[in-house]
Structure 1
Amino acid sequence: MSYKQRQQFEFQDGYTEQQQAQYTKYLTKLKSEFEKRWCTQAKFSIEFSELEPIKTLGTGAFGRVMLLRHNKTNKFYAMKVLEKEKIIKLKQLDHTFYEKRILEAIRFPFTVSMEFSFKDNSYVYFIMPFVPGGEMFTHLRKLGKFEEPLAKFYASQVILALEYLHFCNLVYRDLKPENILIDKNGYLKIADFGFCKVLQGRTWTLCGTPEYLAPELILSKGYGFSVDWWSFGVLLYEMNAGYPPFYANEPMKTYEKIVAGKYRCPSSFNSDLRDLVRNILQVDISKRYGVMRNGVLDYKNHKWFKGIEWDAILNCRIQPPYVPKFIAPSDTSNFERYNEEPILPASYCRYESEFIDF
Structure 2
Amino acid sequence: MAAAVHKLLHHGHHSSSQNEPAPTSPHDRQNSAMDRARDDEKHSLAHWEDHEGQTGANADDKRVGHSSPLLRQEDFELVKTLGTGTFARVWLVRFVDPRPDDPHKVYALKILRKVDVIRLKQVEHVRNERNVLAAVAGHPFITTMVSSFQDHDSLYMLLDYCPGGEVFSYLRRARRFNEPTSQFYAAEIVLILEFLHEREGVAYRDLKPENILIDAEGHLKLVDFGFAKKVENRETYTLCGTPEYLAPEVIRNTGHGTAVDWWAFGILVYEFLVGQPPFWDQNPMKIYEQIVEGRVRFPSAMSAEARDLISGLCTVDTSKRLGNIKGGASAVKSHSWFQNIDWDALYNRKINGPIVPHLRGPADTRNFDEYEPEPDNREPYSNEMKDKWDEYFKDF
Where on the TM-score scale, by shorter chain, does this alignment land: which range? 0.7 to 0.9
Alpha-carbon distance change, 277 to 316 in structure 1, aligned in 2, over 3 angstroms: same
- Structure 2 distance, partners of 1:292, 1:118, is 40
Deviation at 1:301, TM superposition (A): 1.4
Alpha-carbon distance change, 242 to 198 in structure 1, aligned in 2, over 3 angstroms: same
SS in 2 for 1:137: helix
Structure 1 match to 2:113? 83
- Report whether the alignment pairs 1:251 with 2:289: no
- Structure 2 distance, partners of 1:115, 1:178, is 22
- Structure 1 distance, partners of 2:88, 2:66, is 25
Once the two structures are overlaid, the 10-residue window that deviates more, 293-302 or 348-357, is 348-357
Kept in 1: contact 2:207–2:265 (CA 8 A)? yes
Structure 2 match to 1:183? 215
CA offset digits 1:268-312 (Å, max 9, x no partner): 211111111111100011211101112122221111111100000
- Structure 1 distance, partners of 2:244, 2:310, is 15
Alpha-carbon distance change, 342 to 34 in structure 1, aligned in 2, over 3 angstroms: same
Structure 1 match to 2:35? none
Alpha-carbon distance change, 151 to 113 in structure 1, aligned in 2, over 3 angstroms: same
- Structure 2 distance, partners of 1:123, 1:321, is 38
Structure 2 match to 1:24? none
Q: What is the letter of the counterpart of residue 241 of structure 2?
A: G
Deviation at 1:348, TM superposition (A): 5.3
Kept in 1: contact 2:115–2:381 (CA 8 A)? no
SS in 2 for 1:128: strand
Kept in 2: contact 1:121–1:349 (CA 8 A)? no
SS in 2 for 1:244: coil
- Report whether the alignment pairs 1:328 with 2:328: no
CA offset digits 1:112-165 (Å, max 9, x no partner): 121122323332121101110101111111111111111100000100001101
What is the aligned-residue identity percentage?
A: 44
- Residue 259 of structure 2: which of 212, 226, 232 is its match? 226
Deviation at 1:344, TM superposition (A): 7.7
Kept in 1: contact 2:167–2:212 (CA 8 A)? yes
Structure 2 match to 1:351? 385
Structure 2 match to 1:118? 149
SS in 2 for 1:351: helix
Deviation at 1:351, TM superposition (A): 2.8
- Structure 2 distance, partners of 1:273, 1:35, is 42
Structure 2 alignment gaps of length 5 or more: 1-53
TM-score (norm 2): 0.78
- Report whether the alignment pairs 1:67 with 2:92: yes
- Structure 1 distance, partners of 2:350, 2:307, is 28
Deviation at 1:47, TM superposition (A): 4.0
Deviation at 1:104, TM superposition (A): 1.8
- Report whether the alignment pairs 1:206 with 2:276: no
Residue-pair matches, total: 328
Kept in 1: contact 2:66–2:134 (CA 8 A)? no
CA offset digits 1:81-104 (Å, max 9, x no partner): 212222112211011011111212
Deviation at 1:43, TM superposition (A): 3.6
Structure 2 match to 1:50? 75
- Report whether the alignment pairs 1:97 with 2:151: no
Structure 1 match to 2:201? 169
Once the two structures are overlaid, the 10-residue window that deviates more, 195-204 or 178-187, is 195-204
Q: What is the letter of the counterpart of residue 316 of structure 1?
A: R
- Structure 2 distance, partners of 1:35, 1:235, is 35
Kept in 2: contact 1:120–1:349 (CA 8 A)? no
Q: What is the letter of the counterpart of residue 116 of structure 1?
A: S
Kept in 2: contact 1:116–1:128 (CA 8 A)? yes
- Structure 1 distance, partners of 2:69, 2:229, is 24
Structure 1 match to 2:18? none
TM-score (norm 1): 0.86
SS in 2 for 1:223: coil
SS in 2 for 1:307: coil
Structure 2 match to 1:128? 159
SS in 2 for 1:312: helix
- Residue 277 of structure 1: which of 289, 305, 310 is its match? 310
Structure 2 match to 1:25? none
Kept in 1: contact 2:191–2:347 (CA 8 A)? yes
RMSD of the alignment, in Å? 2.1
Matches within 5 A, 1:279-358: 279-341=312-374, 346=380, 351-352=385-386, 353-356=388-391, 357=394, 358=396
Once the two structures are overlaid, the 10-residue window that deviates more, 119-128 or 250-259, is 119-128
Once the two structures are overlaid, the 10-residue window that deviates more, 84-93 or 221-230, is 84-93
